[in-house]
């Protein structure tokens, strides 16, 4: 009976953000978060390394810096600094953001990677300012706009999950029978474990699926061990591997992208508190999350890394497992930091096949879409809200599927909106929320009633 009681206590602690949880009991749950985001965290760095024509040593510096920044950024969100003003105090996991890749690629190819680092450093401080002032400007963003942002985040990730399910974008054997088999087995294991396991073990469904999928990939010879070649057993992250160069054009481009990222964080915090705590985020949590992303991004530039943001993959994981304990997730952050000093650890995680990740993440991303639908329902299905949601999602998702629509737009517009459905959906939803008239009919619900109440 004592063991059973302990299991109940552990399960309850995992669902409590502040509950004290023994370090060793939290490791498996923190490991889930690391495995869910590991490859996605490093992918933008691999891509930018190719654009910037970095050598092998510089690429290793980049990977180590990315792991260190992700671990420290996650810890900052869990345990805020400066009286809780920088950091969300939410179970957020930070990672390298894809939002900045297109702009970084252009700047790196024309002005060098140092100009990217200068823009990251200054732009991060701008996002800190956005976070510290979020209490004021956030009032201009109504609940229906936040709901649209969350929904667009989920929809924009669906193709990412599907590409991983097929073996990874650009894979020579994309969609092969082996890849689909690995992804499908991983998916079935995640779902089966989630619905058949009991107690605390139930919350390890993703980890179980990843392990089984990895073993199957090993049997089918689908694990790439090339990242283990010529590895040093221990290596310190390199400070200032790329000297920052401060170019005003690059800084302005990144400042605009930091603004877009801040809006994404609004959606992320709304989705996270919805699936993890069944409530809306407080102003302090949202402001702290944005400021935390900005500070860790500026710090990341000192290790040669592009900006970080909260990872939607991990929000989907919270939706599946309901694990929100910050000590459990901190153990995952510790693994990331540890991996930055021990390259072989990073190589193990980096060898995880895309098909295995796809089998797990496709469920997580779907959960984010559903969370967005639930937020839309809470805002209310008035004619005004339906118009805002329909038009913003149609333009956001539709325009990014036809990128040539921005062919004659200025390069800065192409960088911000060309492949970013979230940015387009946000801008359209925000403008509509400002210009469409409020509805006056009796019995209205959701957003209109809330806004009248505030007035």
What averages of pLDDT result for each successive group of 10 residues across the chain (455 residues)?
51 90 87 78 78 80 92 96 93 87 79 93 96 86 85 81 85 91 93 79 77 92 79 87 90 84 86 91 93 96 93 82 92 92 78 84 79 86 94 92 87 76 87 86 45 41
Looking at residue 203, its pLDDT comes to 64
In a domain, 184, yes or no: yes
Query: Exposure pattern of 392-431 as b/e (b: 16+ CB <10 Å)?
Result: bbebbbebbeeeeebeeeeeeebbbbbbbbbbbbbbbbbe
Phi, psi at residue 352, to the nearest 5°?
-65, 120
Specify whether the CB–CB gap between 192 and 168 falls below 8 A. no
Instruction: Give the Cα separation of 429 and 435 in Å (integer).
Output: 10
Q: Determine the Cα–Cα distance for residues 105 and 237; give it in Å rounded to an integer.
A: 23
Q: What H or E segment, with its residue span, contains residue 94?
A: strand 94-96
CA distances from 373 to 142, 147, 310, 378, 424 (A): 16, 7, 20, 9, 18
User: Is 3 within a domain?
Assistant: no
Distance CA 70, CA 82 (A): 20
Evaluate if pTM is beyond 0.85. Answer: no
Question: By the 8 A CB rule, do 285 and 89 touch?
Answer: yes
**Is 340 inside a domain boundary?**
yes
330 vs 75: CA distance, rounded Å? 6
- Measured CA to CA, the distance from residue 118 to residue 297 in angstroms comes to 11
Contact criterion met (CB below 8 Å) for 131 and 290: yes
Q: Examine residue 79 and state whether it is found in any structural domain, yes or no.
A: yes
Supply the pLDDT for residue 455: 36
Q: Is 310 helix (H, G, I), strand (E, B) or coil?
A: strand
From CA 331, how far away is CA 311, in angstroms rounded? Answer: 17
- Would 295 be classed as within a structural domain? yes
Output the pLDDT for position 200: 62
Nearest one of 123, 65, 418, 143 to 290, comparing CA atoms: 123
DSSP code at position 281: P
pLDDT at residue number 39: 67
Number of domains, the chain: 1
Burial state string for 182-219 with b = 16 or more CB within 10 A and e = fewer than 16:
bbebbbebbbebbeeeeebebbbbbbbbbbbbbebbee
Residue keyed to tokens 């919350």? 203
| CA dihedral of 445, 446, 448, 450, whole degrees rounded to 10 | 120
Residue 81 gets which letter from DSSP? B
* 271, 310 contact by CB (below 8 A): no
The answer to whether position 394 is within a domain reads yes
Assess if residue 130 is contained within a domain.
yes
Query: Residue 284's pLDDT is what?
Result: 93
Could you tell me if residue 105 is inside a domain? Answer: yes
- Name the one residue in this structure whose structure tokens are 């400070």: 239
The pLDDT of residue 3 is 45
SS3 242: coil
Q: Vertex 371, ends 184 and 309: CA angle to 5°? A: 85
443 Rama class: left (phi>0) / alpha (psi -120 to 50) / beta:
left
Residue 305, burial from CB neighbour count under 10 angstroms (0-12, 13-18, 19+) = buried
């Amino acid at each position: 009976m004592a063991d059973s009681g302990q299991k109940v206590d552990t399960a309850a602690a995992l669902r409590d953000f502040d509950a004290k949880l023994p370090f060793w009991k939290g490791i498996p749950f923190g490991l889930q978060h690391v495995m869910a985001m590991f490859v996605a965290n490093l992918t933008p760095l691999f891509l930018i390394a190719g654009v910037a024509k970095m050598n092998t040593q510089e690429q290793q510096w980049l990977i180590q810096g990315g792991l260190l920044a992700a671990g420290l950024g996650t810890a900052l969100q869990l345990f805020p600094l400066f009286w809780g003003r920088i950091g969300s105090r939410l179970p957020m996991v930070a990672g390298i953001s894809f939002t900045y890749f297109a702009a970084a690629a252009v700047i790196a190819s024309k002005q060098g990677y140092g100009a990217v680092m200068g823009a990251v450093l200054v732009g991060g401080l701008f996002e800190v300012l956005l976070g510290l002032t979020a209490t004021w400007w956030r009032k201009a963003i109504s609940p229906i706009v936040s709901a649209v942002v969350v929904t667009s985040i989920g929809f924009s990730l669906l193709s990412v999950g599907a590409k991983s399910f097929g073996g990874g974008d650009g894979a020579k054997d994309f969609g092969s029978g082996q890849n689909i088999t690995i992804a499908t087995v991983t998916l079935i294991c995640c779902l089966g474990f989630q619905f058949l396991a009991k107690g605390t073990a139930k919350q390890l469904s993703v980890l179980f699926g990843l392990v089984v999928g990895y073993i199957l990939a090993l049997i089918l010879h689908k694990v790439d061990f090339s990242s283990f070649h010529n590895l040093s057993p221990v290596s310190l992250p390199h400070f200032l591997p790329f000297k920052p160069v401060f170019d005003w054009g690059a800084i302005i481009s990144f400042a605009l992208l930091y603004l877009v990222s801040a809006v994404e964080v609004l959606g992320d915090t709304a989705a996270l508190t919805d699936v993890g705590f069944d409530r809306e985020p407080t102003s302090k949590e949202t402001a702290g999350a944005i400021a935390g992303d900005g500070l860790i991004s500026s710090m990341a530039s000192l290790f040669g890394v592009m900006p970080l943001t909260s990872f939607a993959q991990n929000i989907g994981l919270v939706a599946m497992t309901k694990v929100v304990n910050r000590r459990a997730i901190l153990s995952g952050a510790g693994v990331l930091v540890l991996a930055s000093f021990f390259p072989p650890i990073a190589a193990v995680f980096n060898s995880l096949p895309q098909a295995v990740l796809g089998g797990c993440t496709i469920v997580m991303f779907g959960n984010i879409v559903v969370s967005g639908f639930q937020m839309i329902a809470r805002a209310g299905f008035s004619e005004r809200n339906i118009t805002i949601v329909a038009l913003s999602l149609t333009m956001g998702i539709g325009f990014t599927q036809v990128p040539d629509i921005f062919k004659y737009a200025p390069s800065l517009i192409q960088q911000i909106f060309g492949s970013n459905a979230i940015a387009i959906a946000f801008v359209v939803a925000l403008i509509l929320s400002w210009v469409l008239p409020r509805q006056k009919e009796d019995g209205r619900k959701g957003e209109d009633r809330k806004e009248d109440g505030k007035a």
